Amino acid sequence: MAERSGTIAAALFLMPSICVISIRYGLPTVNEVISNDIIIELGIHSLALLIGIFMYVKYGVVEDHEYHRSAIIKRLSKSYSQEDKGLWDKSDNAMLKLEENAKSSVKGRKGQLVQAKMSGNIGSLNVESSEIEVEEDLDIEIVTHHRGVNTIIDEKVLENRIVKPKKSFITRRLEKSASRRIERKKIKQQRKNTNANTNFAKSKTINGESDNHWDMPISSNLTKSVVPCKECGTLNNSTNPYCTSCGTYLS
């Protein structure tokens, strides 16, 4: 902090008192009034001294950067102390709640486990649990493979343990309707097949078709149409354009 001049500070301290003394000796009437009453005289001089002290203190304080910095640090330290006090109070309350919860008795199986852990030591908490042996009455077969381990349990054991879920009324109705539709489709398909077979048999009997090839009629090319020649009267085949005997063109 910057330092002030001591002479100016002393002058400021003495200046109010000097002003009072100068007024008393400069004004005789005022001096007589003050001198007649001791209380007024002491009060005026005390007030002058207080004003001098105030001026001396104000002059000695330099409100520079360091002054403001120290004032801010004081305020922050006060707020920090209050926050720390509040945090400590909260932590104390939390510890009290934890102690109350620890002292409160827990009933049942959980309480027994807690009591056993609290009565033991830290090493007992890391101890592995005891092994449980399987009953000999259960018929269980274990089959091991190279890629894993599979367990095959007898069907009798599964039947005793597995309970089939009950179907609702709507599910049963839907299954019945679906089964009925499937049965109807099968019956319709069978009827279509029987009708197709009967129609095929009827068409075969109408057309005179038979499985025996000897019963089928054979078409003959012996009977053919003939055309007579106009010149010589010879009968010629209709496929021949000219007469075979005279060579005349057959129109």
Domain positions in the chain: 6-62, 65-103
Q: What is the pLDDT of residue 147?
A: 46
pLDDT tens figures, 108-161: 777 777 777 777 676 666 666 666 666 655 555 554 444 444 444 445 555 555
Q: Tell me which residues of the chain have a pLDDT lower than 50.
A: 1, 143-154, 209-210, 213-215, 219-223
Q: Could you tell me the CA-to-CA distances from 110 to 10, 106, 116, 120, 193 in Å, in that order?
A: 82, 7, 10, 16, 74
Q: What is the pLDDT of residue 50?
A: 93
Q: What is the pLDDT of residue 51?
A: 92
What residues pair up with 149 in beta bridges, in sequence order? 144
Question: Which residue do the tokens 């801010």 mark?
Answer: 72
Q: What is the pLDDT of residue 23?
A: 87
Q: Which two tokens stand for residue 203?
A: 């068409």
Q: Which of 78, 59, 72, 47 is nearest to 10 (CA)?
A: 59
Which residues neighbour 9 within 8 Å (Cβ) at sequence distance 6 or greater? Answer: 56, 59, 60
